[in-house]
Amino acid sequence: MVRKLGLWLGAIALGGLLFCQAAWAESTREGAALFQANCRMCHSQGRNLIVPEKNLQQKTLERFAMNSQGAIARQVKYGKNVMPAFGESLSDEQIAAIADYVLDQAAQGWPSAA
């Protein structure tokens, strides 16, 4: 009985993990398209064409405490310094998708041609 319960709970956990992975993949796909349309002109391949030292590379995101979805989403939504705010033109879900994409690309060293 305990073994069956353990197997059942393991299957539920695996199903939840697969669902989370699928949701993350969908979010990063949407985020890639949104990034292309809204961010690429200043942040192509994780660079920052305006303020080069504040790029979207993993080490830089960590140094400036921008290595979480919440931190990136706040920056995109409200803007900061020369970066414009996108909160009026993008939904919170779209902004979260962009943040997921940025985190995913930074973790991989920006391998795509975004």
HSE-up of residue 89 (Cα within 13 Å, Cβ side): 9
Question: Residue 19 contacts by C-beta under 8 Å, 6 or more apart in sequence?
Answer: none
- pLDDT category of residue 16 using cuts at 50, 70 and 90: low
Write down all domains in the chain, each with its CATH number in brackets.
Answer: 28-107 (1.10.760.10)
Helix or strand or coil: residue 4?
helix
pLDDT, residue 18, reads 45
Give this prediction's pTM. 0.76
Are 114 and 36 within 8 A, CB to CB?
yes
Is the pLDDT confidence value at 66 over 90? yes
- pLDDT category of residue 40 using cuts at 50, 70 and 90: very high
- pLDDT category of residue 114 using cuts at 50, 70 and 90: very low
